[in-house]
With several copies, the nearest count.
Chain A
């Protein structure tokens, strides 16, 4: 305590009274400690969750909660999304779920896979569900590796060891229900009340219904739903209710109705069309290349430099497609190369564009007009935009 006493003496000595100006007779008030912000119980419809893949430290990925109306304080908070994580947001449950992987010594040691449950008001973890087997699929984040089913009471987690399977998780009971083998198939598209479908390597779709224990009740294969060689579909669709709209590397649009126990490919695939200025041609390009609004329009990120291998290069325009009319209804130029697009469910919807340089731009979804930029202030590598339905 001898040294401590001396230190204290020194700390007290560092001071000499000053007079405050008459203009402000009262000092600024003291502020309470500790203070931690909370979020509104019901997030505004202008908020989105942006997945930051965080290339510089993939094991330290995160979700950014973003207020797209705020140009000066868009970042409302961060949620951990460690090591090739996936995430889900449930407004009805008031929770965010992250499917993550941890090692006991950061980069090495014992591996633990778990779903972490986060409260949407506090962004604090409320619990976790450990995923057995160390088999959770690690990929650049695709939304359809982790999905709800059974009215958001359950979640489905993709596994890849490289053996493919799906783990069925009861979010209410916080326990594992089952694991379903899925040889040769990938991605999870919730189907019907309790089940899912996946694309398979032969171009078919494999569909499973689950019983109330999470076991396979029935399964079915729908042959030739896509031609992977000639029209490979991006894995991430735009969802309109229970209809998923997929676009191919070459701009072909294909809908699937996932409302029933067996998925139904919608007849009449069509193309987003062509345009001048392509070198050699316009094609969809980016990581999340298609989004839907509440009115039933699709927004497709397009690259003018379409060629073999350009499908992840991002795009400089968004083409608005009406799938009912099977026609393009507008072209919106972007301010820079975008890699992901999303549309907010606001009364006046906005098109949110995550750019390759990390900047988030907000456009009017009806006109394409630029509204505001959030700058590169919420994520280093924004690759997915999740509006909160």
Chain B
């Protein structure tokens, strides 16, 4: 396992240094035992609410990335499991102030309904602050048992971080998939 740990550590350090996405994906392609984000509340999708009873959607502002990022239905959340950082002080791709973004996490593949491309989405968790409590969302397209960590969203991936306490989850575009999701 030493080899795997070293790989993970190396990956974490690369991300910390802000290495380009391209090189990261190349590395991923070379074969990372990805791993998952976080909890599941069964039927959490129904329970999820947005920023308020009748609020305007939080959007990218461009037609190519459609949908309300405070809604569990947003396309990037196809395999997310947890509180949406967009409702917690962060955004779809950034952690709230006061937290630390987990350096590694699991990678999903979601199809953007606007451009019909399959994007590789990294569900990095935000760590070190307790449960955000807002916009709980659980979707499991492509989720598989824990024996396949790179395809399972039940792990707490606040793991490479200083604290393992979980706050919320992001859904970061890290590239376009070479292939379509199954």
Contact = CB atoms under 8 A, between A and B. Distances in A.
Interface residues of B, number: 113
B145 A228 contact: yes
Contacts, number: 342
Contact of B147 (A30, A83, A228, A337): A228
Main secondary structure of the interface of B (DSSP, over half): loop
A37 B6 CA distance: 29
A7 B1 CA distance: 14
B128 A17 contact: no
Interface centre among A33, A39, A234, A359 (most CB of B within 10 A): A33
A292 B90 CA distance: 32
B4 A62 contact: no
B98 A14 contact: no
Contacts of A17: 178-180
A127 interface: no
A57 B136 CA distance: 13
Contact of A138 (B34, B97, B133, B164): B164
Given A16-B179, A36-B95, A124-B98, A107 B128 contact: yes
Interface in A334-389: 337, 339, 356, 359, 373-375, 377-378, 380-381, 383
Contact of A36 (B42, B99, B175, B179): B99
Interface centre among B1, B16, B118 (most CB of A within 10 A): B1
B45 to A, nearest CB: 8
A73 B54 CA distance: 12
Interface string B5-40: 100100000011010011000000101111100111
Interface string B153-182: 011101100111111000011111111111
Nearest to A78: B129
A72 interface: yes
Contacts of B93: 31-32, 35
B143 A311 contact: yes
Interface stretch (A170-178, A180-188, A212-220, A272-280): A180-188
A163 B91 contact: no
A151 interface: no
A61 to B, nearest CB: 9
A218 to B, nearest CB: 20
Given A312-B143, A356-B42, 6 more contacts: A1-B4, A24-B117, A34-B101, A36-B126, A80-B129, A108-B163
14 contacts: A4-B33, A15-B109, A28-B119, A30-B174, A31-B173, A33-B124, A36-B94, A78-B130, A123-B96, A140-B39, A162-B149, A186-B147, A228-B144, A337-B42
Interface of A: 1, 4-5, 7-12, 14-21, 23-24, 27-39, 53, 55-60, 62, 65, 70-80, 83-84, 101, 103, 106-109, 111, 118, 121-124, 137-140, 142, 160-165, 181, 183-187, 198-201, 228, 232-235, 285-287, 308-314, 337, 339, 356, 359, 373-375, 377-378, 380-381, 383
